[in-house]
Structure 1
Amino acid sequence: MSAIKVGVVEDEVIIADNIISVLSDLGYITCEPAGNYGEALSMLGSEQPDIVLLDINLARSKDGIEVAKHIRSSRNIPVIFLTANSDRATVERAKQVNPNAFLVKPFHESELYSAIEVAIHNFSQQQAVAAAQSSAANKSYKEFTFIKEGQYFNKVNFSDILYLSSDHVYVTVHTTTKKYLVRTTMQEYIERLDPTKFIRAHRSYVINMDRVEKINSAYVLINGEQVPMSKNYREEIMQMLNL
């Protein structure tokens, strides 16, 4: 993977130079720092950073939040706000542009590194989820399936499926009215399901996101039942629920 290029928007020259020095020591590529709104837009256009560190309180009329608004409307990169004792109103304004992280000045080298790496990672994950959802949205999925039970095939609407559980080569389809046992693997079964609605919560469980009633760190509550959720899938579920 190529080195990450970091843009810095900070109007205090000494602080900006110090941040650039630390970033270089950490192995990042750095852009020429910008000190105001106009310089920030110029830097964004000419140097194309992968992520931007933005001081909220720039000296001139257009502050770092205005720079972030421009980034959100014209570019697809993560933003980290740098702040020192911002008042509540400023923080509320900052939240409206959905920054990927906040760093309170002064901060240590380790805090800067962690903020950048976590912001890049989470942003990449969000983009992957969005791409998958977009791809799924453009694909046509059936609204029902037929499941064999005895001598008959029963029609089951996917919207009535609460969740799936698997045991080796069998999948139990839990619906609003009954359970069906299907001889297949979980992977084979979920390939017929809309991935924007059905998602793994655990190696052995797939949930219908439209049926989620409550959620905590270990379980998803669906129709009054606790469905296990492992940490490997928790982040994606939280993102899809906008939590």
Structure 2
Amino acid sequence: MASVKVLIIEDEELIAEDMANKLTKFGYEITDYVETCADALESIKRTPPDVIFLDIMIAGEYDGIDTALKIKAIEDFPIIFLSNISDSNTLQRALATNPANYLKKPFTPDQLHISVQTALFNHAEKRKIGINDAIVENPEALVRKDKLFLKDANDTYRKYDISNILFIEADRAYCHIYMTDGTKLTQSVNMGAMSVKINHPNLIRVHRSHIVNIDNVDAVKGNVLILGKYEVIVSETFKEEVFKHLPPLL
């Protein structure tokens, strides 16, 4: 029987190496251990794993939860979250991505082994009965042409013009959508999920916490976009792509 391939996404190198050594002793094949979302996506393209260990608090522009959503947008790999935190909001965000398992640090070799077997079993059962990823496949927000459909408190989808959106701001497990008329709409979905769901050329990710409507940018000051009375910072990670959309302002 072929070895189970394991990818480790952990920004503490000593922990990653220790995990790799322990898992290897159980016969698992470590495809890679990486520190950031970008490196993880590249590793997955090179060698698709059978299961992924993912630290919730990895370094870089995307945390582990956002990284999980980006991975699931490629393929629904079984993901085991790693964490030593007990913040309820963070845990809710993590659980909303429908992980295959969750392992609290520190852990023993046996716990690592059991978590892999449990994750593979849970993932197989989920596929057997046809359960899809709760966030990616059950959208609270949908884009159709130039309209954004948002679900309100009464579970009713309401239509908004994309042109009336200024920007979208992350707030833990929620997203706030700021409109040109001054209203603010709140959705029970995190930024990682929101960025996967909305697909419109004018809605551009500019920061870990922000998506802007590029057509509503009034001015640019350094790495700051000005939209009406609001200022949104463009992070280095997104800067090159963002400024491709703003030639008239440069």
* TM-score (structure 2 length as normaliser): 0.51
Equivalent in the alignment of 1:105: 105
Take 2:86 and 2:67, find their aligned partners in 1: how far apart are those partners? Answer: 17
Q: Are 1:14 and 2:36 matched, yes or no?
A: no
Deviation at 1:31, TM superposition (A): 1.3
Deviation at 1:106, TM superposition (A): 0.6
Take 2:124 and 2:18, find their aligned partners in 1: how far apart are those partners? Answer: 27
Q: Percent identity?
A: 32
Equivalent in the alignment of 2:72: 72
Take 1:28 and 1:112, find their aligned partners in 2: how far apart are those partners? Answer: 11
Deviation at 1:129, TM superposition (A): 2.3
Aligned 1:52-131 pairs, distance under 5 A: 52-130=52-130
Take 1:8 and 1:129, find their aligned partners in 2: how far apart are those partners? Answer: 28
Aligned 1:129-148 pairs, distance under 5 A: 129-130=129-130
Deviation at 1:99, TM superposition (A): 0.8
Which 5+ residue runs of structure 1 have no aligned equivalent?
Answer: 132-243
Deviation at 1:54, TM superposition (A): 0.1
Q: Secondary structure of the residue that 1:33 maps to in structure 2?
A: strand
RMSD over equivalenced CA pairs, Å: 1.4
Deviation at 1:96, TM superposition (A): 1.3
Deviation at 1:128, TM superposition (A): 2.0
Deviation at 1:53, TM superposition (A): 0.2
Moved over 4 A (4+): none
Residues 106-157 of structure 1: CA deviation (Å, up to 9, x unaligned): 10011111111011012112212229xxxxxxxxxxxxxxxxxxxxxxxxxx
Deviation at 1:47, TM superposition (A): 1.2
Take 2:59 and 2:121, find their aligned partners in 1: how far apart are those partners? Answer: 31
* Aligned residue-pair number: 131
Equivalent in the alignment of 1:46: 46
Q: Given that residues 6 and 32 in structure 2 are in contact (C-alpha distance below 8 angstroms), is that contact kept between their aligned partners in structure 1?
A: no
Q: In structure 2, give the amino acid aligned to 1:115.
A: S
* TM-score (structure 1 length as normaliser): 0.52
Q: Given that residues 37 and 67 in structure 2 are in contact (C-alpha distance below 8 angstroms), is that contact kept between their aligned partners in structure 1?
A: yes
Which 5+ residue runs of structure 2 have no aligned equivalent?
Answer: 132-250
Residues 176-234 of structure 1: CA deviation (Å, up to 9, x unaligned): xxxxxxxxxxxxxxxxxxxxxxxxxxxxxxxxxxxxxxxxxxxxxxxxxxxxxxxxxxx
From the CA coordinates, give the structure whose radius of gyration is larger: 1
Q: In structure 2, give the amino acid aligned to 1:51.
A: V
